[in-house]
Amino acid sequence: MIDRVKEKINELLSEGSVKGVVALVTANGHVAPCLFQKGDDLDTLCLGDTEKSGDARYPLNRVLCTIARQYPDDVFGVLVRGCDERGLYGLYRLNQLEPDKVVPIGIPCPESLAQACECKKPYPDDIVAGEKFEGISQQGVEDMDNKDLSTRFSFWMDQFSKCVKCYGCRNICPMCFCRECSLECEDLVSKGDLPVDIPVFHLTRAMHMADRCIDCGLCEEACPSDIPLRLLYKKTAEIMNTEFGFTSGINKNEKSPLSLMGPAPEK
Amino acid sequence: MDYRNTLTTCTYCGCGCNFFLESLDGKLTGTIPCKTSPVNEGKLCIKGWNVHQFVQSERRLKQPLLRKNGELTEVSWEEALAFTASKLKEIKEANGSDAIGFFASAKVTNEENYLMQKFARAAIGTNNVDHCARL
């Protein structure tokens, strides 16, 4: 699969249809986000798999946004999995990237990663190489829903109380780009205090991610306290889907229910 | 166009978390925790997450400052060191070694901290050595 990806990137770069490609590189024994440009050695390119598949994924769309902000007129390629592609659709909708300035290079996730993520759509619409594996049902959310209210409440309060307020969930998030963040608004979250205001901190973030979260799971991987953030956002996404028929990034030109006025749209 | 991720180690404490300092055209744009680092496995504390901000902060001291006529003034290292040495000597002679205390830092290397306590004990003659992380 990786050879076909390299071939594709080489094609894009040498024909000059993109200025650079945001992907991953193995260097110094570590995996890092990288911008490949014309003439760069693609041998070191990698797909973010080390010991397990997808265990060294990075927020490439976030990197792309950083570069595109500085070079708005150039076209860039970006390596995308299913979640990253949902992210791109979301970032187009939120005016952070322009669709005609982005060339996605899509790869599907293998079964093991799809299972571990309980991913609804572990493949992008446009696949450059690899076999796609079908979506997985949200067992984690269902298991949690089957517990009674007080069990769930104490579970989440215990989890939230572990928070060390590193803001890692926000910082790593490819869908977080606000210049002013509610999590730094002193009316909601007091400055300097630990433990963090619970559950306000985590629920504020969950609310803000309701129409953005693309279920990439990078927040949970970045959490030093192992708070099951992904489960929380999966539940939020489920509510968005049940109430408004909306799933973040699943369709290219979808509008967010949070940007509509009036009655709920047809499901 | 020069986008880079430079692998480095956090200077905030002795844990040794690894991250990439992300830069675009020579300007730091972010910190990305290194997932393949066995030390921090892609996680950071709030200080580590914000390392890129202090490196190029305008408020960062780049020159030693000496208070002259009540105002902090930029001076050369030579002048700053000469002043500090003469004052240390003066205080030691007038009030004894224990009138002086030394504060080490979590933001420097082990070796530098070792040298500082050595200087405190051997050159000045005091055990008044403490550390910013104890404050």
Query: Where exactly does CATH 3.30.200.210 map onto chain B?
Result: 3-55
Lowest-confidence region among A137-141, A161-165, B13-17 = B13-17
Interface subset of A 101-160, CB within 8 angstroms of B: none
Lowest-confidence region among A241-245, B36-40, B114-118 = A241-245
> Distance between CA A76 and CA A66 in Å, rounded?
12
Nearest to B32 among A58, A164, A221 (CB): A58
> Which ipTM value was assigned to this complex?
0.91
> Distance between CA A141 and CA A220 in Å, rounded?
15
Q: Report pLDDT digits (tens) over B60-91.
A: 888 999 999 999 999 999 999 999 999 999 99
- Record the tokens describing residue A69, joined without a space: 């902000």
User: Cβ separation of B44 and A166 shorter than 8 Å?
Assistant: yes
Residues 6+ apart with CB under 8 A from A60: A22, A23, A24, A33, A78, A79, A80, A84, A174
Query: For position B105, what pLDDT does the model report?
Result: 85
Nearest to A34 by CA among A56, A7, A4, A8: A56
Alpha-carbon radius of gyration of chain A? 19
User: Cβ separation of A29 and B44 shorter than 8 Å?
Assistant: no
Question: Number of A:B CB contacts under 8 A?
Answer: 77
What number does CATH give the domain B3-55?
Answer: 3.30.200.210
Q: Report pLDDT digits (tens) over A210-229.
A: 999 999 999 999 999 999 99
Q: Are A10 and A16 in contact (CB under 8 A)?
A: no
Query: For position A262, what pLDDT does the model report?
Result: 76
